[in-house]
C-alpha cells in the first residue's frame, strides 16, 4: 500500500494535469478531403472510391528500433502521405482549433500546441496493427486520435457505403 500512497503523492505534486484521457462531442464538420489521383472523398465512402484510395496508397510500415519495416503479419493497413492530401473545407481549421483549445484546457497545457496531418490510414475489413508500444517520431509530438463515436440517432452505416461489402 505504501507504493500506492507514494504514487498519489507524486501525481498530486505535478504542476501539470495528471489527466491522460478526455472525450467530448461536437457537431460533425467534414474536412473536405481531396486526394491527388482520386479527387474529392466524401462520406459515406463507396467501395469504388475506397478501391481508388487503395490504388494510390502504399502498405504502411512500422518501426522496429532504427529500422522501418513492411510486414503485413504485424501491420496490415494502407497509407497515403500528407503531401498528397488537401483539406478544403474552410470551417475545418477553426473546428480543429476548438478541439486543440479544449485539449489544452483539459490537460492544463500552457505551451503552444499545433495540429498536423500525419497520414491518411485506410483499413480494409480485417486490417490491423498488432499490439505495440509506439515510439516518438518527433520529440514534441503527442498523438491525439479522433474517433467518430456512433450515437443512437446516427445511422449505423454512416461511414459504410451501401455498395460496400
Any idea which of 94-103, 110-119, 133-142, 154-163 has the lowest mean pLDDT?
Answer: 154-163
Under 8 Å between Cβ of 17 and 107: yes
Whole-model pTM?
Answer: 0.70
pLDDT band at 6 (very low <50, low <70, confident <90, very high): confident
**pLDDT for 148 beyond 80:** no
Determine the 3-state secondary structure of 45 from DSSP.
Answer: strand
Residues 126-142, mean pLDDT to the nearest whole number: 71
Under 8 Å between Cβ of 164 and 47: yes
Any idea which of 19-28, 68-77, 90-99 has the lowest mean pLDDT?
Answer: 19-28
pLDDT band at 138 (very low <50, low <70, confident <90, very high): low
15 or 108, greater pLDDT: 108
| Structural domain boundaries in the chain | 29-91+119-129
% of the chain surpassing 70 pLDDT: 74
The DSSP code sequence of 69-138 is E--TTTEE-EEE-GGGEEE--TTHHHHHHHHHHHHHHHTT--S--------EEEPPTT-EE-S-----SS
Under 8 Å between Cβ of 51 and 122: no
Amino acid at each position: 500500500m505504501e507504493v500506492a500512497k507514494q504514487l498519489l503523492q507524486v501525481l498530486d505534486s505535478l504542476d501539470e494535469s495528471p489527466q491522460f484521457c478526455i472525450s467530448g462531442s461536437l457537431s460533425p464538420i467534414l474536412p473536405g478531403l481531396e486526394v491527388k489521383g482520386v479527387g474529392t472523398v466524401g462520406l459515406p465512402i463507396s467501395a469504388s472510391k475506397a478501391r481508388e484510395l487503395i490504388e494510390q496508397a502504399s502498405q504502411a510500415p512500422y518501426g522496429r528500433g532504427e529500422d522501418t519495416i513492411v510486414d503485413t503479419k504485424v501491420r496490415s493497413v494502407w497509407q497515403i502521405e500528407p503531401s498528397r492530401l488537401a483539406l478544403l473545407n474552410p470551417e475545418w481549421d477553426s473546428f480543429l482549433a476548438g478541439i486543440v483549445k479544449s485539449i489544452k484546457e483539459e490537460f492544463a497545457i500552457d505551451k503552444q500546441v499545433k495540429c498536423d496531418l500525419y497520414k491518411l490510414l485506410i483499413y480494409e475489413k480485417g486490417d490491423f496493427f498488432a499490439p505495440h508500444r509506439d515510439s516518438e517520431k518527433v520529440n514534441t509530438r503527442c498523438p491525439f486520435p479522433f474517433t467518430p463515436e456512433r450515437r443512437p440517432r446516427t445511422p449505423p452505416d454512416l461511414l459504410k457505403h451501401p455498395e460496400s461489402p
